[in-house]
Amino acid sequence: MTDRNFIIYQSSAGSGKTYTLAKEYLKLALRRPAYYKHILAVTFTNKAMQEMKGRILQKLEEFGRGDLDAMGEELMLYTRLSPSDFQKTCARLLTEILHGYSHFSISTIDSFFQKVIRSFAKELGLAGSYQLELDTDVILIQIVDDLLMEASQNVQIRKWLISYSRDTLQEGGNWDIRKNIIQLGSELFQEHFKTVEGQVAAQDKGLAGKLKKDLGLITKSFEEKMKSYGQEGLQILHKYGLETSDFTGGSRSPLNYLYKITKPKASKDFIPTKTVEALPDKEEWYAKASGKKEVITAATKNGLRAILQQTLEYYVKEFDTYHTAIQVNRFIYGYGLLADLARKLQEYKKDNDIMLISDATRFLKELVQDSDTPFVYEKVGSFFNHYLIDEFQDTSGFQWDSFRPLIDDSLSQGYKNTVVGDIKQSIYRWRGGDWNLLLNQVEEDIGSFRTQVENLGTNYRSEANIIQFNNALFEQAPQQMTLEGGDNRAEGWEVLTEVYASAKQGIPKSKVNAPQGYVNITFLGDEEDRPWKHTVAERLPEVIEELQDKQVALKDIAILVRRNKEGKDVADYLHHYQKQNPDSQYRYDVVSNESLFLSSSPAIRLIIAALQCLMDNKNQVVQAQLAFEYQVQIRRSCVSYHEIFSADYAVIEKLLPESFRENRTHLLFLPFYELVEQLIALFEVNQLKGQFAYLQTFQDLVLKSSQNGKGDLPSFLEWWKERGARQSIKVADDLDAMRILTIHKAKGLEYNAVIIPFCDWEMDHQRSPIIWSNAETPPFDNVYLPLKYQKGLAQTHFRDAYQKERIKAHLDNLNLLYVAMTRAIQTLWVFAPDGKKDISKVLKATLENSTFELNGYWDKEANVFEFGEQNFQFATTHSAVGNAILMEQYPHYEWRNKIAVKQTSGGHNLSEEVKEKIRYGILMHKLLSRITYLTDKEAAITAVFFEEGLNEIQRREIQQRLEKLLSNPSVSPWFSDEWEVKNEWPILTHNEEYRPDRVLIKGKKAVIIDYKTGLKKNEDIQQMHGYKVLMEQMNYDEVEGYLLYLAGEEIVEC
Partner 1 sequence: MKTFLQEIAQDIIRNYPGKLGDITIIFPNRRAGLFFREYLKQELNGPSWSPQVLSFQDFIAASCPLQKADQLFLVHQLHTIYNQQLKTREGFDRFYYWGQMLLKDFDDVDKYLVNAQNLYTNLSRQKQLDLSFDFLLPEQKEIIQRFWQGFDESKSAQKERFEFVWSHLFQVYRSFNQQLSDKGLAYEGMQYRYMAEHLEEIPFKKNNRVVFAGFNALNAVEDKIISWCLENLQADILWDMDAYYFNNEHQEAGTFLRQYHKRQVYAPSFPETIPSSLTEVSKELVLTGVPQHVGQAKILGQKLGALLKEHPDLDIRKVAVVLADEALLFPVLHSLPEEIEAVNVTMGFPLSYAPVNSLIEHILELRRMARKDPDGLVLFHFKPALAIIRHPLIIQTDVDKLEEWANDVQRSNKVFFTTSELPEHALIKMIFSQDLGDLVDYLSAILLELNALADPEKNTIEVEYVHQYYQLLNRYADLLRNSDTTIELKPFAALFKQLVRTERLPFTGEPLRGLQIMGVLETRNLDFEHIFVLSMNEDFFPSQGGKHSFIPYNLRKAYELPNYDQQDAIYAYLFYRLIQRASSVNFFYNTEGNDLGGGEMSRFLQQLLHESNLPIKVETLANYTEPGSEQVITVNKDDDVLKSLSRYLNTGQRIQKRLSPSALNTYLDCRLRFYFRHVADLYEKSAMEEDVDARSLGNVLHHAMEILYEDYLKDKTSRTLVKADFKELKTKLESAAVFAFRKQFSIAPDRKFYFEGKNIIAKEIIKDFMQAILKLDEQYAPFEIVGMESEHVYDLTMPEMETAYLDAYKIPGESTMSVALRGTIDRIDRKKGQVRLIDYKTGQDKHVFNSIEELFDRKKKNKAALQTFIYALLYQNVKDEGEALVPAVFNKDALFMGDDVLLEYKGQGKVTNAAYYLEPYTEQLQLLLKEIFDPETPFDQTDEVRKCTTCAYKGICGR
- H helical segments located in 490-647: 494-500, 509-512, 532-549, 564-580, 602-615, 620-629, 641-645
Q: Min. distance of Cβ 38 from partner 1 in angstroms?
A: 14
Q: Min. distance of Cβ 13 from partner 1 in angstroms?
A: 22
Q: Min. distance of Cβ 213 from partner 1 in angstroms?
A: 20
Q: Min. distance of Cβ 907 from partner 1 in angstroms?
A: 7
- Is 905 a binder of partner 1 (CB under 8 A)? yes
**874 and 795 in contact (C-beta within 8 Å)?**
no
Q: Min. distance of Cβ 679 from partner 1 in angstroms?
A: 12
Full 3-state SS string of 73-89 = HHHHHHHCCCHHHHHHH
Could you say which DSSP state residue 463 is in?
-
- Is 817 a binder of partner 1 (CB under 8 A)? no
Closer to partner 1 by Cβ: residue 803 or 1013: 1013
Closer to partner 1 by Cβ: residue 428 or 802: 428
- Is 95 a binder of partner 1 (CB under 8 A)? yes
| Residue 59 φ/ψ, nearest 5 degrees | -60, -45
* Pairwise CA distance, residues 718 & 714, whole Å: 6
Q: Min. distance of Cβ 374 from partner 1 in angstroms?
A: 5
Q: Measured in whole angstroms, how far is the alpha carbon of residue 120 from the centre of its chain?
A: 26
- Is 749 a binder of partner 1 (CB under 8 A)? no
Closer to partner 1 by Cβ: residue 512 or 621: 621
In the region spanning residues 975 to 1004, those forming contacts with partner 1, defined by CB under 8 A, are 982, 985-994
Q: What is the dihedral of CA 320, 324, 326, 328, to 10 degrees?
A: 180
- Is 1016 a binder of partner 1 (CB under 8 A)? no
Among 213, 239, 343, 892, binds partner 1 (CB under 8 A): 892
- Is 1 a binder of partner 1 (CB under 8 A)? no
- Is 46 a binder of partner 1 (CB under 8 A)? yes
- Is 890 a binder of partner 1 (CB under 8 A)? yes
Could you say which DSSP state residue 881 is in?
-
Among 700, 848, 977, 1037, binds partner 1 (CB under 8 A): 700
- Is 299 a binder of partner 1 (CB under 8 A)? no
Among 697, 742, 813, 840, binds partner 1 (CB under 8 A): 697
- Could you count the other beta carbons within 10 Å of the beta carbon of residue 80? 8
User: Measuring CA to CA, which residue among 642, 631, 123 is closest to residue 378?
Assistant: 123
| Residue 438 φ/ψ, nearest 5 degrees | -70, -35
Q: Min. distance of Cβ 643 from partner 1 in angstroms?
A: 7
Burial level of 149, CB count in 10 A (0-12/13-18/19+)?
A: exposed
Q: Min. distance of Cβ 378 from partner 1 in angstroms?
A: 4
Q: Min. distance of Cβ 139 from partner 1 in angstroms?
A: 16
The SS3 assignment for 886 reads: coil
Closer to partner 1 by Cβ: residue 92 or 504: 92
Distances (CA, A) of 420 to 453, 808, 816: 10, 21, 19
Site string for partner 1, 542-581 (x = CB under 8 A): --------------------------x--xx-xxx-----
User: Measuring CA to CA, which residue among 266, 159, 262, 288 is closest to residue 212?
Assistant: 159
177 HSE (CA, 13 A, CB side)? 25
Among 201, 202, 217, 1034, binds partner 1 (CB under 8 A): 1034
- Is 783 a binder of partner 1 (CB under 8 A)? no
Site string for partner 1, 341-360 (x = CB under 8 A): ----------x-x---x---
- Is 1028 a binder of partner 1 (CB under 8 A)? no
Full 3-state SS string of 989-1016 = CCCCEECCCEEEEECCEEEEEEEECCCC
Site string for partner 1, 139-178 (x = CB under 8 A): ------x--xxxxx-----x--xx--xx--xx-x-xxxxx
421 forms beta bridges with 10
- Is 502 a binder of partner 1 (CB under 8 A)? no
- Is 392 a binder of partner 1 (CB under 8 A)? no
* Pairwise CA distance, residues 6 & 305, whole Å: 67
Closer to partner 1 by Cβ: residue 4 or 919: 919
- Could you count the other beta carbons within 10 Å of the beta carbon of residue 1003? 9
Q: Min. distance of Cβ 410 from partner 1 in angstroms?
A: 17
- Is 211 a binder of partner 1 (CB under 8 A)? no
In the region spanning residues 592 to 651, those forming contacts with partner 1, defined by CB under 8 A, are 595-597, 599-602, 605, 608-609, 612, 615-622, 624-625, 628, 640-643, 645-646
- Is 196 a binder of partner 1 (CB under 8 A)? no
Among 585, 850, 851, 883, binds partner 1 (CB under 8 A): 883
Among 289, 510, 767, 946, binds partner 1 (CB under 8 A): 946
Q: Min. distance of Cβ 920 from partner 1 in angstroms?
A: 15
Length of the chain: 1054
Q: Min. distance of Cβ 683 from partner 1 in angstroms?
A: 15
**1027 and 1008 in contact (C-beta within 8 Å)?**
yes
Q: Min. distance of Cβ 1001 from partner 1 in angstroms?
A: 10
Q: Min. distance of Cβ 255 from partner 1 in angstroms?
A: 23
- Is 374 a binder of partner 1 (CB under 8 A)? yes
Q: Min. distance of Cβ 412 from partner 1 in angstroms?
A: 15
User: Measuring CA to CA, which residue among 380, 111, 218 is closest to residue 797?
Assistant: 218
User: Measuring CA to CA, which residue among 202, 327, 342, 218 is closest to residue 774?
Assistant: 327
Q: Which residues of 36-74 are buried (b: 16+ CB within 10 A; e: fewer)?
A: bbbbbbbbbbeebbebbbebbbebbebbbeeebeebbee
Omega before 969 within 30 of 0, i.e. cis:
no
Long-range (24+ apart) CB contacts under 8 A made by 303-306 are 303/232, 303/236, 304/233, 304/236, 304/237, 305/280
In the region spanning residues 918 to 937, those forming contacts with partner 1, defined by CB under 8 A, are none
Closer to partner 1 by Cβ: residue 604 or 793: 604
* Pairwise CA distance, residues 694 & 593, whole Å: 11
Among 1033, 1037, 1048, 1051, binds partner 1 (CB under 8 A): 1033
* Pairwise CA distance, residues 998 & 994, whole Å: 12
Q: Min. distance of Cβ 491 from partner 1 in angstroms?
A: 36
Full 3-state SS string of 44-66 = CCHHHHHHHHHHHHHHHHHHHCC
In the region spanning residues 105 to 134, those forming contacts with partner 1, defined by CB under 8 A, are 107-111, 114, 118-124, 127-129, 132, 134
- Is 295 a binder of partner 1 (CB under 8 A)? no
Q: How many residues bind partner 1 (CB under 8 A)?
A: 194
In the region spanning residues 656 to 695, those forming contacts with partner 1, defined by CB under 8 A, are 665, 668-674, 677, 688-694
- Is 514 a binder of partner 1 (CB under 8 A)? no
* Pairwise CA distance, residues 468 & 473, whole Å: 9
* Pairwise CA distance, residues 211 & 213, whole Å: 5
